[in-house]
Amino acid sequence: MTAKRAGVPRRTLLAIGVSAAAASCGGLKRSGAWRFFTDGEARTTEAITAQLIPSGPLPGAREAGVVNYIDTQLSRRFRKHQQAYRAGLANADEESRKLANKPFTELSSDQQIAVLNTLEENAKPFFQLILTHTRQGFYGDPRHGGNRNRVSWKMVGLPFPQVRGREQYGDPDKG
């Protein structure tokens, strides 16, 4: 005779455990390939960074994957700036709606620049933060998530730097 199990089935317990774990981590609000940004925030960040370092005959922030750098670092080293980004990106869209009743990503280039000028005047800390992170993502080491294919290094004629700690000491051919 087999004893009948009392209580909750194993699958239900597993589902409850997974749900509790997700809730304790702040929920599963991420979407797509982003670590921190929502899809909309990523599009807005990419549009802002593309205005700060635009493409032309040479690659800009978009080609360098600066939005990926910022997203990656906001989930790591820049965690203290997460709230500033949430508020700053919402503010950019709010200013865009005041100007043209559209989100930032749907504005013309001239309108986006006008919104960025407003942010530079009225939201200087966020503007300086995203400008600094854009520069870091564009010119920094690709291993941190930006400067895709070393586009900025190629643009300024830098050779691919060796990883620190792996340089040769002296000329190995001269013994």
Report domain extents, the chain. 38-53+60-150
d(CA 174, CA 157): 28
Helices 109-122 and 39-52 sit at what angle, rounded to 10 degrees?
90
Does the pLDDT at position 32 exceed 80?
Answer: no
d(CA 39, CA 174): 55
Each residue's pLDDT tens digit, 93-136: 999 999 999 999 999 999 999 999 999 999 999 999 999 999 99
Question: Is-contact 36 75, C-beta < 8 A?
Answer: yes
